[in-house]
Amino acid sequence: MPDYFVYAIAGIAAVCVFLLAWGIHLYNDERIVVGSLGKRETAPKRQAGPRPSAITELQEMLGTPFGKMVQTMLGNERLAKVRKRIVAAGRPGGITVEKYCKQRAGTVILYGGLGILLLYGGQRLIGILLIALGFFQTDLTLIGKARVRQQEIEKSLPDFLDILTVTVTAGLGFRHALGRVTERIDGPLSEEFAHALRQMDLGTPRREAFEELRRNNSCPQLGTFITAILQAEELGAPLAQALTDISMDMRREFAQGARRRAQQTVPRITAVTTFLMVPGVMVLVLGALLIGTAGEDLGLLG
């Protein structure tokens, strides 16, 4: 089969995938709903939270028939890790373990199919990269979102604690103060505490809800804060003073962490600069040596 024919098939397949994804996006767009009488009505608002992208919806649709099979292949232990990773990432797009399995199967089908087409057409490197992307894209996306979310939690924790300290000092109880601050401040940290408060409203003990919050997040500063709060509750220490001390410690640790990150950045910048500049310098030196040697040879011949 000629190469141009294979490339044409691959191009047509890519266009079909794009059109299908765009069609799913238009189909799920609920901003305008056409009524039975041809009138335009405003659709009800979705629940708060980011909606999945058209590609994600396409992957989930393709992998729906294979979701149960993926769950069986992963096993309970691996699914528990996936569930923890989803929670750490903030459940982006309302993803669950079941949706994760469907999306992973759909990603393998989508990128793996395109990769096999490119392999058949002679583009081995791109084909292998696409197949590898199909196997790891869902996990890499969750890991990246979880890392960004934990960084946002670490960054917003000192200010959150300052406001919580002022609210508790004003006379509110800790739980009511935490609920008031959570309602007034947006961000992943408020979402985590709001989830813990909902669990308490459903009857979960405070210690158990906070320990689950600590397990679901890898931010060490948040873990330190929860440990200090639980210890202060056990020992009967004044909560306002404990929050003030914790807030000061958080700011000190945040400043130290910023200095550590800056110190870790210097070797990386040095390495990147070295890898970028050394080859160019070597080319210039070798070029100058070659030109000088060629000039001397020409002078001797003259």
Instruction: Indicate the residue type of 299.
Output: G
Return the structure tokens found at 43.
Answer: 């659709």
Least confident piece of the model among 45-49, 73-77, 271-275, 288-292: 45-49
pLDDT of 173 strictly over 50: yes
134: exposed, middle or buried (C-beta count within 10 Å: 0-12, 13-18, 19+)?
buried
pLDDT of 279 strictly over 60: yes
Q: In which band, very low, low, confident or very high, does the pLDDT at 13 lie, cut at 50, 70 and 90?
A: low
193: exposed, middle or buried (C-beta count within 10 Å: 0-12, 13-18, 19+)?
buried
Tell me if residue 220 falls in helix, strand or coil. Answer: helix
Q: In which band, very low, low, confident or very high, does the pLDDT at 262 lie, cut at 50, 70 and 90?
A: confident
Per-residue pLDDT tens over the stretch 136-169: 888 888 888 888 898 888 888 888 888 888 888 8
- The DSSP letter of residue 66 is G
* Structural domain boundaries in the chain: 3-148, 152-257
- Tell me which residue has tokens 């009800």: 44
Least confident piece of the model among 5-14, 34-43, 91-100, 244-253: 34-43
Right CATH for 152-257 from 1.10.287, 1.20.120, 2.70.70, 1.20.81: 1.20.81
